[in-house]
């Protein structure tokens, strides 16, 4: 008995020793990595540094969209040191609407099993600092976009934000710091930081005052002429900067909020296309400046089709000025005939009507150019039928006349380079400006024009083709032009879609054009 | 070397180590406080800057004022 006691003690010690070894093996080898990771996570704190996103600025450096930060509150029940009712009273003292805004969530939170709950109410930094002294409350920083001008150019701004997403967003930064037992940061050499990169500001050429009055005028125009919609673009002729781009629909469809119909919707330009064709014919020397249409005293028949004028009147011996003034389809069909398909396609390409404008927006549509051109198609192309363009393509092309024959790439970003290409000669443009000015002064539109205002412009009315047939009752009225005729300060296009009060561009789009034009002078 | 000398050196080293630790830990704590205060100040300034930008935008908006 006496001799077995030391043996028992020794065996117990051995067993304990083996047990300790096994335990050490378990903690250090089997659980070693897990514990190591846990220790690291307790010592180091890895945090995201959210960058400030860039602003979208108007031409006067006003922020059309910018970032704002707010905090979302979350409750964690196990850390509460006060009753929920007491906590809610303290929150309500700072944010009275909190309880009502989160009534459903709070009801759910009364369930003892629900320990964590985040709420929708937004707190600012001051409010967050006051409430963060309460235990069990956790705030997370959030960011959102703010649009101080509300709906002004909203689709353009949303679209720009999408187009410049990477530049505006910036880059997230990270910081890894060693923390003390209370979670506070310790300043040591082992801390590491990758700085965030704030997003870039995008300075646009949009003039918000002109945008504002254009949107207002469009809305009034749509209501007055009982139209489905109306659109407008105003650009600076020499630089191609887009000052205004807007559209208004009488009954907006549930469309994407980034849709810019000025570039996504195609339309037949109609008679506003005539100055481009006449310029091309003059520039290519297919016709001379003293061209007279000797066959304009009757309609023209090509194959089974007959070309007539919009008012079914004929104008014998029309000069170029008369053809534009009377918007003579027959005269234009002869002019394009003189020019030929090759020249037409050459100028069509030079005017970049067969390609996207490349404006800094998403969703631009273009119509593919036909490969087969029967005579009738070429003849109708002279007055803008049988081809489709978007509104921005049209104004970019027409602006070549305003800009003395140079086509300037349209753009919204003021930092975009100015790209120019020669289309027409300056001599042709001088002649064309004279023709356009004469046409405005000697047509019924002249009553809309203030006497001291010299305008070079053209109206157009295009029938809308539905299932391959043109329908008289559904038209698109347009007015495009620039002011003044020499060294213009703006080029503007207005289109009114399906006006019920009058189908003509001269009595729907033109009044809107002149109303805005008169207000533009002091703003540019 | 007598035991007294060794004992004195050991005591001296201990005192040096203690004073070194006390001095530098005080410095580290002071720098840490300064660092965390600067962090708070930076966050506050960033917030105020953003608030000023929004106030400016609201003040000069053409289309009406809505505070987020």
Task: Pick the residue from chain B with its C-alpha nearest to A178.
Answer: B32
Three-state DSSP class for residue A245:
strand
Chain B residue whose CA is closest to A129:
B44
- Quick: pLDDT tens for A60-91: 999 999 998 899 999 999 999 999 999 999 99
SS3 of chain A: helix, strand, coil, percent, to 5: 40, 25, 35
State the nearest Cα–Cα gap between A149 and chain B, in angstroms: 5
* Per-residue confidence (pLDDT) for residue A469, from 0 to 100: 63
Q: Return the HEC string of A394-423.
A: HHHHHHHHHCCCEEECCECECCCCCCEEEC
* Residues of chain A falling short of pLDDT 50: none
Q: Are strands A202-203 and A56-57 parallel, antiparallel or unpaired?
A: parallel
Low-confidence ranges of chain B (pLDDT < 70): 1, 63-68
Cα A487–Cα A488–Cα A493 angle in degrees, nearest 5: 155
- The pLDDT score that the predictor gives to residue A470 is 64
Is residue A68 a contact partner of residue B68, using CB atoms and an 8 Å limit?
Answer: yes
| Distance between CA atoms of residues A105 and A126, nearest Å | 24
Q: Do A69 and B50 touch (CB under 8 A)?
A: yes
B66 touches chain A (CB under 8 A): yes
Contact B61 A149 (CB under 8 A): yes
Q: How far apart are CA A334 and CA A315, in angstroms?
A: 13
pLDDT, one tens digit per residue, over A103-127 is: 999 999 988 899 999 999 999 999 9
ipTM: 0.75
> CB contacts < 8 Å between A and B, how many?
60
Closest partner CB to A185 (pick from B35, B53, B64): B35
d(CA A12, CA A6): 10
**Counting beta carbons within 10 angstroms of the beta carbon of residue A232, is it exposed (0 to 12), middle (13 to 18) or buried (19 or more)?**
buried
Could A70 and B68 be called an inter-chain contact, meaning their C-beta atoms sit closer than 8 Å?
yes
Entry pTM: 0.84
């Amino acid at each position: 008995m006496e001799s077995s006691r030391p043996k028992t003690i020794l065996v117990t010690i051995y067993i304990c020793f083996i047990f300790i070894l096994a335990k050490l093996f378990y903690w250090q080898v089997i659980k070693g990595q897990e514990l190591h990771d846990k220790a690291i996570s307790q010592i180091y704190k890895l945090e995201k540094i959210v960058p400030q996103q860039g602003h979208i600025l108007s031409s006067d450096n006003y922020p059309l969209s910018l970032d704002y930060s707010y905090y979302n509150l979350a409750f964690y029940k196990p850390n509460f040191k006060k009753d929920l009712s007491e906590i809610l009273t303290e929150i309500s003292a700072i944010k009275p609407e909190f309880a009502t805004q989160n009534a459903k969530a709070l009801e759910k939170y009364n369930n003892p099993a629900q320990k964590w709950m985040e709420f929708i109410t937004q707190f600012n930094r001051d409010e967050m600092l006051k409430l963060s002294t309460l235990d069990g409350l956790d705030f997370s920083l959030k960011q959102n976009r703010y649009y101080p001008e509300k709906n002004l150019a909203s689709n353009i701004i949303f679209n720009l934000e999408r187009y410049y997403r990477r530049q505006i967003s910036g880059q997230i930064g990270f910081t890894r710091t060693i923390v003390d037992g209370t979670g506070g940061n310790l300043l040591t050499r082992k801390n590491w930081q990758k700085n965030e990169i704030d997003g870039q500001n995008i300075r646009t050429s949009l003039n918000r005052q002109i945008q504002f009055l254009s949107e207002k005028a469009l809305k009034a125009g749509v209501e007055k002429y009982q139209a489905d919609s109306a659109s407008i673009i105003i650009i600076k002729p020499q630089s191609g900067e887009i000052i205004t781009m807007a559209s208004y629909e009488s009954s907006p469809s549930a469309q994407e909020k980034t849709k810019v119909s000025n570039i996504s919707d195609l339309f037949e330009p109609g008679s506003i296309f005539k100055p481009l064709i006449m310029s091309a014919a003059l520039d290519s020397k297919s016709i001379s400046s003293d061209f007279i249409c000797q066959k304009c005293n009757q309609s023209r028949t090509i194959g089974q089709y007959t070309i007539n004028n919009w008012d079914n009147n004929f104008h014998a011996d029309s000069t170029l000025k008369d053809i534009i003034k009377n918007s003579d389809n027959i005269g234009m069909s002869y002019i394009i005939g003189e020019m030929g398909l090759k020249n037409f396609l050459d100028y069509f390409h030079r005017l970049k009507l067969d390609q996207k404008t490349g404006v800094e927006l998403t969703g631009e549509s273009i119509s593919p150019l036909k490969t087969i051109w029967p005579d009738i198609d070429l003849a109708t192309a002279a007055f803008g039928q049988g081809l489709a363009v978007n509104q921005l393509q049209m104004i970019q092309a027409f602006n070549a006349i305003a800009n003395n024959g140079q086509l300037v790439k349209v753009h919204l970003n003021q930092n975009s380079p100015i790209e120019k290409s020669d289309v027409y000669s300056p001599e042709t443009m001088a002649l064309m400006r004279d023709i356009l000015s004469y046409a405005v002064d000697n047509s019924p539109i002249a009553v809309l024009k203030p006497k001291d205002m010299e305008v070079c412009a053209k109206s157009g009315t295009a029938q809308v083709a539905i299932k391959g047939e043109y329908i008289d009752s559904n038209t698109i009225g347009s007015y495009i032009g620039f002011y003044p005729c020499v060294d213009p300060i703006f080029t503007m296009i207005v289109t009114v879609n399906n006006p019920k009060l009058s189908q003509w561009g001269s009595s729907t789009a033109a009044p809107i054009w002149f109303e805005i034009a008169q207000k533009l002078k002091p703003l540019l | 070397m007598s035991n007294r000398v060794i004992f004195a050196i050991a005591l001296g080293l201990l005192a040096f180590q203690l004073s070194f630790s006390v001095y530098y830990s005080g410095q580290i704590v002071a720098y840490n406080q300064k660092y965390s205060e600067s962090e708070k100040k930076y966050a506050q300034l960033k917030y105020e800057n953003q608030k000023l930008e929004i106030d400016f935008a609201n003040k000069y908006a053409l289309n009406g004022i809505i505070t987020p």
